[in-house]
């Protein structure tokens, strides 16, 4: 493998997945938490399960850990059906959302807990615990009880504890949910660093799309127990398969309309009275007259005071609102028909140099490849 090779085993038909979900369904009484899922996760992946609460992502993870068994279908780990294997016999370890640190044990004993169950010699355990303490930089706190350290430190103890046994697969349930924003961002990079160092396969459950985008090699977007899209973060962002995914990840304008005409990859969409049809490109084959959605990210729309020359799409409106975020500004522009479109631009100039302000007329424009055409 040359160093230039991009890590993408999911594109290589010859590579064997570490985990394989095969037609997995999980029901709790009448409620279907997981609905017939097929999914492959590869070795050394940092795989994110993303979705709103109640979408089944935690159930999927708990099935990997062994706390739930599938109602139908099988789960394979390393080519072995792990259905009948109890949690304490699985080569997986889980980091709990609450961290689940043992309050009666100090940091060292918490990390050593799993190792002691394996019956390893004492000095081997001590050496491994020291290694873990170094990895998460908690050597100084080894003797403290969990309630005597900060939230961020507790998070690292929990991580060290589940990494100590060198699992084939590490499961992280909302690992950063309890941390404040700044610490969370730092920890995300630490997590990626540790994942790279240890070469462990990570599966992370999160409802935070930014977190999933930052850390994951691939993201699975879930909704009502189904996988809506499984792809790399950039594909999820740039080429969502449905308005659900487009809306869930990042900020987006979704313009419902009807296909006016299609010519190869070029398509035009009628979307509003008195507005020119949107010119876009798509690989979907869409019948003229069928319903479609045009999804476009705010940062892909340019805003200008004068009509831009040669733009594939341009609409005029009036500035309704400006959200100034320092580095960027988001403009809410109202069209004559009442629709509001969000456009974003980097504040490359000082704010005083801005060409327009509230209530001013402005032009929005985008290229024909800037947005995506969706049929659902």
Supply φ then ψ for residue 194, to 5 degrees.
-65, -40
Q: Supply φ then ψ for residue 141, to 5 degrees.
A: -110, 10
User: CB 24 → other proteins: shortest distance, Å?
Assistant: 20
Using alpha carbons only, give the angle 209, 215, 220 rounded to the nearest 5 degrees: 55
Instruction: List the structure tokens of 200.
Output: 């462990």
Alpha helices (runs of H) in the chain, residue ranges in sequence order: 57-65, 107-117, 122-135, 151-163, 181-198, 209-215, 233-238, 243-248
CB nearer to other proteins: give 15 or 98: 98
Nearer to other proteins, 95 or 241 (CB): 95
Q: What's the closest the beta carbon of residue 94 comes to other proteins, in angstroms? A: 5
Residue nearer to other proteins on the CB measure, 98 or 265:
98
Residues 84/36, Cβ–Cβ less than 8 Å? no
Query: DSSP code of 55?
Result: S
Q: Considering only residues 2, 5, 88, 357, which one is a binding residue for other proteins as defined by CB under 8 A?
A: 88
Q: According to CB under 8 A, which one of 25, 44, 54, 65 is a site residue for other proteins?
A: 65
Site residues for other proteins, window 150-169 (CB under 8 A)? 161-162, 165
- Does residue 104 bind other proteins (CB under 8 A)? yes
If the CB atoms of residues 77 and 343 are measured against other proteins, the closer one turns out to be 77
Of 100 and 320, the one with the shorter C-beta distance to other proteins is: 100
Token duo for residue 185: 């961002």
Minimum CB–partner distance for residue 6 and other proteins (Å): 33
State which of positions 124-153 bind other proteins (CB under 8 A): 147
Figure out which of the listed residues 12, 15, 80, 117 binds other proteins, where binding follows CB under 8 A: 117
**Angle between the N-to-C axes of helices 151-163 and 107-117, in degrees from 0 to 180, rounded to the nearest 10:** 20
Strand pairing category for 278-281 and 313-324:
unpaired
Q: Choose which of 18, 34, 94, 212 interacts with other proteins (CB under 8 A).
A: 94
**Nearer to other proteins (CB atom), residue 136 or residue 221:** 136
Residue 67 sits in the site that holds other proteins (CB under 8 A): yes
Strands (E), 207-297: 218-223, 226-231, 253-263, 266-270, 278-281, 291-296
Applying CB under 8 A, which part among 50-58, 114-122, 182-190, 282-290 lies near other proteins? 114-122
Closest by CA to 329, choosing from 248, 256, 251, is 251
Binding residues for other proteins, rule: CB under 8 A, are: 65-67, 86-88, 92-94, 96-98, 100, 102-104, 113-114, 117-118, 147, 161-162, 165
């Amino acid at each position: 493998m040359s160093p230039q090779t991009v890590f993408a085993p999911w594109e290589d038909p010859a590579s064997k997945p570490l985990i394989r979900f095969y037609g997995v369904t999980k029901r709790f009484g009448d409620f279907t938490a997981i609905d017939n899922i097929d999914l492959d996760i590869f070795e050394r992946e940092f795989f994110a399960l993303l979705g709103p609460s109640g979408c089944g992502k935690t159930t999927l993870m708990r099935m990997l850990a062994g706390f739930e068994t599938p109602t139908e279908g099988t789960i394979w780990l390393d080519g072995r059906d792990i259905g009948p294997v109890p949690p304490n016999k699985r080569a997986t370890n889980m980091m709990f959302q609450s961290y689940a640190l043992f309050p009666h044990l100090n940091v060292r004993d918490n990390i050593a807990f799993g190792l002691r169950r394996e019956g390893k010699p004492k000095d081997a355990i001590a050496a491994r615990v020291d290694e873990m303490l170094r990895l998460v930089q908690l050597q100084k706190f080894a003797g403290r009880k969990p309630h005597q350290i900060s939230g961020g430190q507790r998070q690292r103890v929990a991580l060290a504890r589940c990494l100590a046994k060198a699992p084939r697969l590490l499961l992280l349930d909302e690992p950063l949910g309890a941390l404040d924003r700044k610490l969370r961002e730092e920890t995300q990079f630490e997590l990626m660093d540790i994942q790279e160092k240890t070469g462990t396969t990570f599966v992370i459950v999160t409802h935070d799309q930014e977190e999933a985008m930052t850390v994951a090699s691939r993201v699975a977007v879930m909704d009502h127990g189904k996988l809506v899209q499984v792809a790399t973060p950039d594909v999820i962002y740039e080429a969502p398969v449905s308005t659900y995914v487009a809306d869930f990840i990042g900020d987006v304008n979704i313009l419902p309309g009807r296909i006016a005409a299609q010519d190869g990859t070029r398509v035009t969409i009628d979307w509003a009275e008195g507005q020119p049809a949107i010119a876009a490109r798509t690989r979907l084959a869409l019948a003229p007259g069928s319903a479609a959605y045009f999804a476009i990210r705010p940062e892909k729309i340019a805003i200008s005071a004068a009509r831009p020359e040669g733009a594939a799409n341009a609409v005029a409106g009036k500035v309704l609102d400006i959200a100034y975020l320092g580095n960027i500004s988001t403009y809410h522009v109202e069209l004559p028909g009442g629709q509001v479109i969000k456009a974003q631009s980097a504040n490359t100039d000082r704010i005083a140099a801005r060409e327009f302000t509230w209530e001013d007329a402005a032009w929005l424009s985008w290229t024909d490849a800037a947005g995506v055409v969706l049929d659902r």
